Amino acid sequence: MHKKKTAGIRKIEHPDRVLSYFKPEKKVLLLIAIGGIGFNGGMIAGPYFEGRLAQCLYECIQGQATSMDMLKLAGVYLSVIFFVQLMRSLKRFSGARLRNDLSRNMRHMLYNGIVHMSREEVEQESTGAIMTKAVADVDASAMGMQQVTTEIFDTGVLLGSYLGMLFVYDWRLTLLSCLFIPVAYMIALSLKGPVTRINEKFKQSAGRLNQETLDRVNNAITYRVYGREQDRDRSYENILAEYEKNAVKSNLWGSATTPIYNIIAMGGILFIIWFGGKNVLGSGWTAWDIGVFTTFVSCFTKFAQKVSMSARMFNRMQRAMVSWRRIKPLFREYVELPQPDKDAVVEKICVEKADLSYPGYDPVLRDISFQAAKGQVVGVTGSIACGKTALAKAFIGDAVYRGSIRLDGRELNELSDVEKSGLISYMGHEPELMSDSVRENILLGEQADTASLLKMVHMDKEVGLMPKGEDTYVGSGGQQLSGGQQARISLARTLCHRRGIMILDDPFSAVDQRTEREIFEELRRLAENRIIILLSHRLALFPETDSVLYLHDGTGTFGTHSELLEKNAEYASLYQIQQKGGLS
């Protein structure tokens, strides 16, 4: 099966194959075929009736036909044209529907691929490049795929119909007048290299422009405060100029070549005027009247125009192929993941001689050992850049470890992402808020009482004063909120999605000591059936934790708060300094 529906979304198997996106569109393709054959096959009616009308007019002048004959012929012509245009509407509607469906499915599968990119892949792609691929390259690929589909009829059926009609009237003159047609196609094919290279440069410059735009918007206040706006504006203008230059070149090769193709393809009209005139005079290869001559000229003109458009289409398809090659590596097979067991309980964490590092780097921490049981709060602290975040991220798979980290006897590395999601909730050092409302940033699509969650993190009164309360838009990345508000909404989100293990990285970094204590009391209550690992540089509440892991010199010392005060002079000194007001 290549089509699976969930909430109206088609899941495409083998998303890195072009044909996979056509398989779910059989009904639309059938409508395109009906409309394409009806329209393009009927297009020969235009030249035919134009010739017959010209001949009828001549016969009327000669007294061989009447005006009624002319009206009847015109009526039939209009009826045929009505049918042809009806088929054209069907073809265009179906083509637009196909393009929309292809674009929708490709965007969905590309989104699936982007959110499942590895850390290494994310680091290799800028945000601007990803946005360009997700928008412009998907549109170009979908457009190219749709054009290939309709071109089968526009080129195959229509050119075949025109060519067949020309052969019926005079096959020798047809062959002679078509001598220039292959030249137009050969020129179009010869431009494949330049079109590909220029379009690739255009896509790259579009990615840089998008990245620069995002940077300029996100850091506008910083540039303004430090008086660097003019420098950033100059940088932006340089990138914009490069983008415009490449855009002009791309459009030049994509569109401006059409008249050239048309002039070349129309070269055969000289033979038609000369030898066709002889046919009318009775000294050519076959006997024509004025109507046939008119039909032949009209048919060949439309034929040559279509040839020039088809040659241009080759260049457009080459541009679409550039876009397809850019997005193809981002596609991933769509997998329906099972729902995690959100009520799973972890009785014990056991970390033994673990070395922790980020992928591709030397270990940040070595020989880390500690234990925690259900109902306990473990405090983790140390100097700046001591490795707290690396330890936290090892539990969610963003950092790697050697040694052992076991949850109820099961090695962490052996658990699937779904199992980890059901066992561990994580609040990172960065809030990572979405461009959405306060409510949605907490719930993430779940159903819960946001009022109680906001009260737990002492954010309920502040949210109540916002313009739309919980439905207030927080801005891109939460920029409409203060740092403390961002952190507390992030904490409320973690509490909403709490699991057997809760890892909180600096949840009190932007709140006062009173608020810190009140929030900690809520965490203590939640810890009755959970394990909480609290990473913080503020030690005021560490006496109330069950145990402390103090990170120093690339390793760690584990014990209770009292034990560390006695055995570790660095920890004792740090705690005493904060108690005296050195760090609030």
- Most confident range, picked from 429-433, 508-512, 568-572: 568-572
Q: What is the pLDDT of residues 120-132, one digit of tens each?
A: 676 677 777 777 7
Higher pLDDT, 365 or 432: 365
DSSP code string of 525-566: HHGGGSEEEEE-S--TTGGGSSEEEEEETTEEEEE-HHHHHH
- The token pair at 504 is 């909180």
pLDDT at 388 over 80: yes
- Rounded CA-CA distance 177/166 in Å is 10
How far does CA 214 lie from the centroid of its chain?
16
Give the mean model confidence (pLDDT) for residues 440-463: 90
**Nearest-5° angle of CA 489, CA 491, CA 492?**
60
- The token pair at 13 is 């198997």
pLDDT at 189 over 80: no
Give the mean model confidence (pLDDT) for residues 382-396: 91
Give the mean model confidence (pLDDT) for residues 273-280: 88
Contacting residues for 578 by C-beta, under 8 A, at least 6 apart: 538, 539, 540, 584
pLDDT at residue 1 in the model: 35
- Rounded CA-CA distance 47/168 in Å is 13
Half-sphere exposure (Cβ direction) of 246: Cα atoms closer than 13 Å:
20
CB 12 within 8 A of CB 24: yes
pLDDT at 119 over 70: no
In this structure, how many other beta carbons lie within 10 angstroms of the beta carbon of residue 123?
Answer: 11
Half-sphere exposure (Cβ direction) of 364: Cα atoms closer than 13 Å:
21
pLDDT at residue 245 in the model: 85
Give the mean model confidence (pLDDT) for residues 430-451: 88
Shortest CA distance to 431 belongs to which of 368, 356, 369, 509?
509
pLDDT at residue 565 in the model: 94
- Most confident range, picked from 156-160, 322-326, 438-442: 438-442
Q: Where are the domains of the chain?
A: 11-191+257-330, 348-579
pLDDT at residue 6 in the model: 43
Half-sphere exposure (Cβ direction) of 490: Cα atoms closer than 13 Å:
26
pLDDT at 315 over 70: no
pLDDT at residue 63 in the model: 85
The listed CATH number (3.60.15.10, 1.10.1200.10, 3.40.50.300, 1.10.4100.10) that belongs to domain 348-579: 3.40.50.300
Q: Identify the helix (H) or strand (E) that includes residue 400.
A: strand 400-407
Higher pLDDT, 542 or 108: 542
pLDDT at residue 7 in the model: 44
Q: What is the pLDDT of residues 394-414, one digit of tens each?
A: 999 889 999 999 999 999 999
pLDDT at residue 45 in the model: 77
Higher pLDDT, 141 or 380: 380
Half-sphere exposure (Cβ direction) of 96: Cα atoms closer than 13 Å:
5
Whole-number average pLDDT of the chain = 84
pLDDT at residue 2 in the model: 39
- Rounded CA-CA distance 174/303 in Å is 11
**Local confidence band at 12 (pLDDT 50, 70, 90 cut-offs):** confident
CB 33 within 8 A of CB 91: no
pLDDT at 539 over 60: yes
pLDDT at 3 over 50: no
pLDDT at 372 over 90: yes
Per mean pLDDT, which range of 43-47, 104-108, 141-145, 387-391 is the poorest? 43-47
Give the mean model confidence (pLDDT) for residues 484-508: 90
pLDDT at residue 371 in the model: 95
Tell me phi and psi for residue 533, to 5 degrees. -105, 110
Shortest CA distance to 166 belongs to which of 305, 296, 45?
296
pLDDT at 391 over 90: yes
- Rounded CA-CA distance 86/117 in Å is 46
What is the percentage of the chain residues whose pLDDT exceeds 90? 24
The superfamily (CATH) of domain 11-191+257-330 is: ABC transporter type 1, transmembrane domain (1.20.1560.10)
- The token pair at 25 is 């569109």
- Rounded CA-CA distance 401/361 in Å is 11
Question: Tokens 């007019």 sit at which residue?
Answer: 57
Q: What is the pLDDT of residues 200-242, one digit of tens each?
A: 888 788 888 887 887 777 777 777 777 777 777 788 788 888 8
Q: Rounded to whole angstroms, what are the CA distances from 385 to 45, 145, 382?
A: 78, 50, 8
- The token pair at 294 is 């008119």
**Local confidence band at 252 (pLDDT 50, 70, 90 cut-offs):** low
pLDDT at residue 451 in the model: 92
**Local confidence band at 50 (pLDDT 50, 70, 90 cut-offs):** confident
pLDDT at 584 over 50: no
